[in-house]
A and B are shown apart, each in its own frame.
Chain A
Amino acid sequence: MNAWRVFGYLVWKDIKIEFRGKQFLAASATFGVLMLFITGVAMDAAPSLPVTWSAGLLWLNVFFTTAIGLTRHDRKDKEYGASLGLRLIPADPSVVYYAKWVSTCALILLAQAALVLAFFVMFNQHTPSLLGMFVMTLVGGIVGLSGIGSFLSAVTAESAMRDLLLPLLLFPLSVPLFLAVLKITVGAFSAPAFIPWVWVDVLAGYVVMVAVLPWLLYEVLMEV
């Protein structure tokens, strides 16, 4: 199908460009580990933190590094005006959006893997009792975060203060997501572990919202 072909080409393009320079991955991963290190210092090198704290610090750093990296990701589209060229192709503009979401999400997941690894090492974390739950929360959280992030990145595309504005808009809008992943992570690490189902619902609901809203609004956003 036409839309799937366009989608495939666009994702392939983003991944290929990133792996040619690897700047986004390298910078995000390094920055993430550094942030976690600084957080450890700020916590006075505590040998063990209660899980409600360490989960909060983990997600704080994930959100923060993602917010900073987001504005970098579509720079390559802007450099020689290729984003204009993408608006000329005979395809639904929302395909362009979903492709961007998927490639952003894949790259952020890769970059955050380093941060999560550092989290286990530096914060002296034991393996979560519900490992599958924890991994799914990480993926779900980053899917939701990159979704709202890609959308805001399109909204702020023409703002003169984009680098500052994007995190400023991102954090308030993603409060439900932040709370949900936080609570599920705490549940997965606790002993005995438990699954806070109501937060799983919030997470799923948020991801659905992030997936549907752009479909309704992105085409309008791109047309002027």
Chain B
Amino acid sequence: MNWQVKLLVVLLAAFGALDLYLALLWSPPEAQMGDLVRIMYFHVASAWTAMLAFSVAFVTAVLYVIFRQIKWDVISVSSVEIGLVYTSITLVTGMLWAKPIWNTWWTWDPRLTTTLILWFLFIGYTLLRGTVSGLERRALVSSIYAIVAFADVPVIHLSVKLWRSIHPDLITDSGFQMPGSMAFTLMFGFVVFLLVYVLLLYMRAKSEFLRLRLFQLRQASRALSRDERGGM
């Protein structure tokens, strides 16, 4: 780790502590949900970050298919993995939130359902990737799958929404009037989550590049020792 990364880590630790303070202490309780509303700051921020991570994975997958440079695949897989972590956080916090509010762990809310399908889609991505051999082959197959999976997400969301439309939307985009202090906390939380994503993406991609470099060096050294044996 170079000093810039170290600085970013320290900075993020401070921001994270501040985010916890804002979300758990500073922001006001909500009229109906009381303190339970505080889960939202983590739930919504991670959901947004997850969506962003999968979008990055999609764009880099397209770039890989066009340019065939391995770096795009490296960024793509790193982003998917981090996106999966954020999606898991979204699902778990969503369930924790649903239990006291709706008195059930799971509801077939369109957004929650789509998120779970999204989670399955990209778990499938990591499994597919893990079982295909050959550097280029693996990169191409997983990029194409990522493109198709991501392109399907809006269709899935639309159909799930249509399917559940007979039930009232429990939280609509506008039905949740937020005072300024809550909106600020939410946005601050999102920025912190986003920065953590950027940091993780950088570190994950870097470790993948190092692995590739190691692989190349091993190749070169093997070729070299073969030459020596051959007396050339």
Q: Quick check: do A and B touch in the complex, using CB within 8 A?
A: yes
Contact for A224 among B131, B137, B160, B163, CB less than 8 A: B137
Partner of B151 from A198, A199, A213 at Cβ < 8 Å: A213
A173 contacts which of B131, B141, B152, B163 (Cβ < 8 Å)? Answer: B152
Instruction: Tell which of A28-36, A41-49, A92-100, A176-184 binds the partner.
Output: A176-184
Minimum distance in angstroms from B1 CB to a CB of chain A: 35
Interface centre among A173, A179, A183 (most CB of B within 10 A): A173
Contacts of A160 in B (CB 8 A): 131-133
CA distance A224 to B145 in the complex (A): 15
Is B159 in the interface zone, CB < 8 Å from A? yes
Residues of A within 8 A of B132 (CB): 158-160
1/0 contact trace for B124-156 toward A, CB 8 Å? Answer: 100110011110110011001101110110011
Q: Interface digits, B103-123 against A, CB 8 Å rule (1 contact, 0 not)? A: 000000000000001001100
A44 to B160, CA, bound (A): 29
Q: Are A172 and B136 in touch, CB under 8 angstroms? A: no
Q: Is A135 an interface residue (CB 8 A)?
A: no
Query: With A199-B162, A217-B148, A221-B140 given, is the CB distance from A175 to B128 under 8 Å?
Result: no
Q: Are B162 and A217 within 8 A (Cβ)?
A: no
Chain A residue numbers with a CB within 8 Å of B133 are: 158, 160
Residue pair B159, A158 in contact (C-beta under 8 Å): no
Q: Are B159 and A180 in contact (CB under 8 A)?
A: yes
Question: In the bound complex, how far is the Cα of B52 from the Cα of A166, in angstroms?
Answer: 27
Interface residue from B117, B121, B137, B147 paired with A217 (Cβ < 8 Å): B147
> Number of residue pairs across A and B with beta carbons under 8 Å?
86
Q: Which residues in B have their C-beta under 8 angstroms from that of A162?
A: 131
Q: Looking at the assembled complex, report how far the CB atom of A46 sits from the nearest CB atom of chain B, in whole angstroms.
A: 23
Q: Which of A5-13, A104-112, A201-209 contacts B (4 or more CB under 8 A)?
A: A201-209
Q: Please encode chain B, from 10 to 35, with 1 for each CB lying within 8 Å of some chain A CB and 0 for all others.
A: 00000000000000000000000000
Please judge, given known A-B contacts A158-B132, A161-B131, A168-B127, whether A173 and B162 are in contact too, CB under 8 Å: no
| B65 on the A face (CB < 8 A) | yes
Known: A173-B121, A220-B140. A205 touches B128 (CB 8 A): no
**CB-based contact B141/A158 at 8 Å:** yes
A192–B14 CA distance with the chains assembled, in angstroms: 63
Bound-state Cα–Cα, A202 to B156, Å: 10
Q: Are B127 and A217 within 8 A (Cβ)?
A: no
Question: If A159-B132, A179-B160 touch, does A173 touch B149 (CB 8 Å cutoff)?
Answer: yes
Q: Tell me whether B140 and A176 are in contact (CB under 8 A).
A: no
Cross-chain contact B159 with A179 (CB below 8 angstroms): yes
Q: How far is the CB of A156 from chain B (nearest CB, A)?
A: 7
Is B8 part of the binding interface, using a Cβ–Cβ cutoff of 8 Å? Answer: no
Apart from A217-B147, A220-B65, what are 7 other A-B pairs with CB-CB below 8 Å? A158-B132, A158-B134, A160-B131, A169-B124, A172-B124, A198-B162, A199-B162
Q: Which 3 A-B pairs have the closest CB atoms?
A: A176-B159, A159-B131, A172-B120
Binding site for A on B (CB under 8 A): 65, 117, 120-121, 124, 127-128, 131-134, 136-137, 140-141, 144-145, 147-149, 151-152, 155-156, 158-160, 162-163
